[in-house]
Amino acid sequence: MRPRLTFWKLTFLFLMAAGVYATVLRFTRGLGASTNLSDQFPWGIWISFDVLCGVMLAAGGFTLTATVHIFNIKRMHSIIRPTILTAFLGYVLVCLALMYDLGKPYNIWHPLIMWNPHSVMFEVAYCVMLYTTVLALEFSPIVLERFKLEKPLKVVRAILIPLVILGVLLSTLHQSSLGTLFLIVPEKMYPLWYSPILPLFFFVSAIAVGLAMTIFESSLSAKHFGLHLELSVLQELGRVLIVVLGMYAILRVEDLANRGVFRLIFQPGYQTYLFWIEVSLALILPLALLLQRRVRNHPQGLYWAAVSVVLGFITNRMNVSITALEAGTGVRYFPKWSELAVTAMIIAGGFAMFGIAVKYLPMFPKEAVSETELGANALPALARAGLEHAGD
Amino acid sequence: MSKALLYDSTMCIGCKQCEQACAEQNKLPYDDNIAGEQFQSEHKFTAVLTRGDKFMRRLCMNCQEPACASVCPVGAIKKTALGPVTYDASKCMGCRYCMVACPFSVPKYEWGKLAPKVRKCTMCPDRVATGKQTACAEICPTGATKFGDRDALLAEAQQRIHDNPDKYVNHVYGMSEVGGTSVFLLSSVPFETFGYRTDISKDPMPMLTYRVLSHIPDFVPLGGMLLGGIWWITHRRDEVALAEALERENREKRGGKQ
């Protein structure tokens, strides 16, 4: 156990050091010196990965709060806290990444008083601000419980349902608006990815990734924090995932056919290869895995299907925002080391904060049982596991 | 009255005085090296391109319905009634969506600076507001770049093609591209020779995103109602189950007393 721990610690320290150096470079020498961005290619990996993928990976938050609090499916309650934590951390990190990418980050508050409702970016800015606030409030009971602050806890619990509804609405808007961003550049994008229904694609795939991320982080938490794996709950998420992926696949095929670009998927070339990597990871492989009962009922099978979905839709976001724009504008972009270093530091920081939160905050508390005692027979095992762990 | 520029490349002699006047107007450096640069950049807002003995200017088209202005989250870019598409650096937060969205890839960025600005031709808004011509039109020795009322210039451009159909490509570039621009171009060789796309949309770009955005005011109350309704119905079942359980319990208690 000990040498592996040291290896990860070393990796973490290395990523942090490289990230700090890249940060210094970014804020003392400017975007030109710290990125491979250019007038021909003004958006790079900080937008493609840190923002587009970051928001997508946080989608478990609204997917699961809607499932538990709106649709009242109580057996999902046991995994809601780590999911909200992931979403909250995700949004905090997206805001952090924006501070690197914006040319004048100290003006980030400008949309508060300078309005342009015709701009998708204005919508994005408000969604980021408001939903980060909502997530902070949804996450706050966990911190308030830890410090036994009963009064504010009561206030947050009283407004929980309106808060959840607001969060689901904002997420729907935000996830889809990241697709809407690209609607204005039909001529600059490769036709395999430009589509008038990009907002719908981004929204449906966000739900798929939200479910996959919930399976992924629950499995990881079980493995690394010794928590009991709620397999029956994850299996159910796996079934819903099949339906959502199926819907996405149908939409994607119909869209390609409707726009008359179906032949492009068999035309050899760079874009076609990346299209097939994306579709294989996001749709074909996970559907092939999950549709077999044997795989779906096995923790490892579920885990790898979820990983494939996540990687597939990361590829999708990168294809929309990099591959498609490269093809349409005739330039090549590959991130500079400092762009990669900042991104790696942000990801490593996210993992570290998740670990710290699980260790010091009541992520699987006894209260969760009393909140959901109606029809939640699978809960006590996990709660017990959480309690045992809290003693560490 | 909306103003515009008409550039007739058949009258251009490639003297690049427009480049120099533009640099002076916008307080940008200008020397022989910069004169040799065949592209727009953060220090060169207009470029006279040379292909053989043909010339063509590149500059901001100052669209009638500019994509850059519609996508700017803080409204730093504005289309003025007089024609110029202006930029307010003090509002800009540097998201660079304007650069991505521009169908002509005009806006450039000061990548080397710590407080970078978006740079582009803004059609000399201060001069135009006081009734003057743009700097490039004023200096032009042959009248290749002409400043005037947009409607009159468009009619003149069409008249020139009509009078000399063999001399011109039968197209006023900017008349219908992305819903029309405030810069019109005439050429004797295909516009693609100089990198101008002719397959570009004839509809204003901002509609592509606004079609989606305009649904938000409907979506929020409807979505809120729907989600609230689902919550109300799904939790009603719990209330009923609880009430029934209590009633059963009471009945049993009463039954026990008797």
What's the pLDDT tens digit per position in B96-124? 999 999 999 999 999 999 999 999 999 99
Residue B185 pLDDT level (bands cut at 50, 70, 90) = very high
CA distance to partner chain B, nearest, from residue A100 (Å): 11
What pLDDT shows up at residue A3? 54
- Do B206 and B226 share a domain, yes or no? no
Taking a C-beta distance cutoff of 8 angstroms, is the pair B60, B122 a contact? yes
pLDDT of residue A371: 39
CB-based contact, A112 to chain B, within 8 Å: no
Q: Tell me how far apart the alpha carbons of residues A324 and A45 are, in angstroms, rounded to a whole number.
A: 14
CB contact (8 A) between residue A169 and residue B237: no
Mark yes or no for CB contact A121/B113 under 8 Å: no
Q: How far off is chain B from A39, nearest CA to CA, in Å?
A: 5
User: Is the pLDDT score of B154 beyond 80?
Assistant: yes
CA dist., res. B28 & res. B33, Å (int): 13
Q: Is the pLDDT of residue A390 over 50?
A: no
Half-sphere exposure of A369 (CA within 13 A, CB side): 14
Report the distance separating Cα A183 and Cα A123, nearest Å.
14
pLDDT score of A6: 80
pLDDT confidence bin for A370, thresholds 50/70/90: very low
Closest chain A residue to the Cα of B94, Cα to Cα: A103
Same domain membership, residue B90 and residue B174:
yes
Q: Once rounded to an integer, what is the mean pLDDT over residues B175-181?
A: 96
3-state secondary structure at position B149: strand
**Among candidates B71, B216, B220 on the partner chain, residue whose Cβ is nearest the Cβ of A121:** B71
CA-to-CA distance for B87 and B42, rounded, in angstroms?
A: 14
Indicate whether B251 and B135 sit together in one domain.
Answer: no
Q: Which domains does chain A have, with CATH numbers?
A: 10-390 (1.20.1630.10)
Contact B67, B205 (CB under 8 A): yes
User: Model confidence over B127-137: pLDDT tens digits?
Assistant: 999 999 999 99
Question: What's phi and psi for A61, nearest 5 deg?
Answer: -60, -55
Query: Do B141 and B233 have their domain in common?
Result: no
Q: Do B209 and A180 lie within an 8 Å CB cutoff?
A: yes
> Domain tally for chain B?
2
How far apart CA A376 and CA A378 sit, in angstroms, is 6
The answer to whether residues B194 and B227 belong to one domain is no
- Read off the pLDDT of residues A243-254 as tens digits, 9 standing for 90 and up: 999 999 999 999
Mean residue pLDDT of chain B comes to 94
What CATH number has the domain bearing residue B184?
A: 3.30.70.20
Helix (H) or strand (E) holding A173: helix A160-180
Closest chain A C-alpha to B236 CA, distance in angstroms: 10
Task: Give contacts of A 199-218 with B, CB under 8 A.
Answer: 199
Q: Which of A101, A168, A185 has its CB closest to that of B100?
A: A185
Domain match, B234 and B150 both: no
CA nearest B205: which of B94, B55, B105? B105
Q: Is the pLDDT score of A364 beyond 80? A: no
Contact A102 B237 (CB under 8 A): no
pLDDT tens-digit map of A163-222: 999 999 999 999 999 999 999 999 999 999 999 999 999 999 999 999 999 999 888 888
For residues A147-173, average pLDDT: 94
- The A residues from 177 to 196 touching B (CB cutoff 8 Å) are 180-181, 183-188, 196
Share of chain B above pLDDT 70, in %: 99
Cβ-defined contact of A187 to B209 (cutoff 8 Å): no
Q: What pLDDT sits at residue A377?
A: 37
**Structure tokens that stand for A291 in this block:** 């549709």
**Whether A352 contacts chain B with CB within 8 A:** no
Q: Do both B58 and B116 map to the same domain? A: yes
pLDDT at site A330? 85
> Does residue B243 sit in the same domain as residue B154?
no
Q: Residue A381 pLDDT > 80, yes or no?
A: no
B230 & B189 share domain: no
Shared domain check, B85 and B72: yes
Is the CB of A25 inside 8 Å of chain B's CB atoms? no
Q: How many Å lie between the alpha carbon of A168 and the closest alpha carbon of chain B?
A: 9
Q: A4-42, pLDDT tens digit by residue?
A: 668 888 999 999 999 999 999 999 999 999 999 999 999
What is the rounded average pLDDT of the residues A250-266? Answer: 95
- Candidates B73, B199, B224; nearest CB to A116: B73
The verdict on B171 and B242 lying in the same domain is no
Q: Chain A partners of B209 at a C-beta cutoff of 8 Å?
A: 118-120, 180-181, 183-184
Facing residue for B114 by CB, picked from A30, A123, A176: A30
What was the ipTM of the complex prediction?
Answer: 0.91
Enumerate residues 6+ apart whose C-beta is below 8 A from A180: A120, A123, A198, A199, A202, B209, B212, B213
Tell me the three state secondary structure of residue A328: helix
A64-78, A358-372, B203-217: the lowest-pLDDT one? A358-372
Inter-chain CB proximity A110 and B91 less than 8 Å: yes
Closest residue, chain B, to A374 (C-alpha):
B238
Categorize the per-residue pLDDT at A70 as very low, low, confident or very high, splitting at 50, 70 and 90.
Answer: very high
Chain B positions touching A169 (Cβ under 8 A) are: 219-220, 223-224, 227
Question: What average pLDDT does the segment B22-46 reach?
Answer: 96
Candidates A8, A61, A87, A171; CA nearest to A350 is: A87
* Chain A neighbors of B231, CB-CB under 8 A: 69-70, 72, 161, 165
B94 CB neighbours in chain A (<8 A) are: 102-105, 107
pLDDT of B257 strictly over 80: no
pLDDT in tens, A88-111: 999 999 999 999 999 999 999 999
Domain that holds residue B252: 215-257
Residues B247 and B203 placed together within one structural domain of the fold:
no
A107 with B92: Cβ contact below 8 A? yes
**Which A positions 226-265 lie with beta carbon below 8 A of chain B?**
none
| Chain B residue with Cα closest to A122 | B73
Q: Residue A9 to residues A89, A341, A351: CA-CA distances in angstroms? A: 20, 17, 12
In angstroms, the CA A373 to CA A380 distance is 9
**What pLDDT sits at residue A380?**
38
The DSSP element (H or E) to which B55 belongs, if any, is: strand B54-58
Mean of the per-residue pLDDT values of chain A: 89
pLDDT tens, residue by residue, B155-167 = 999 999 999 999 9
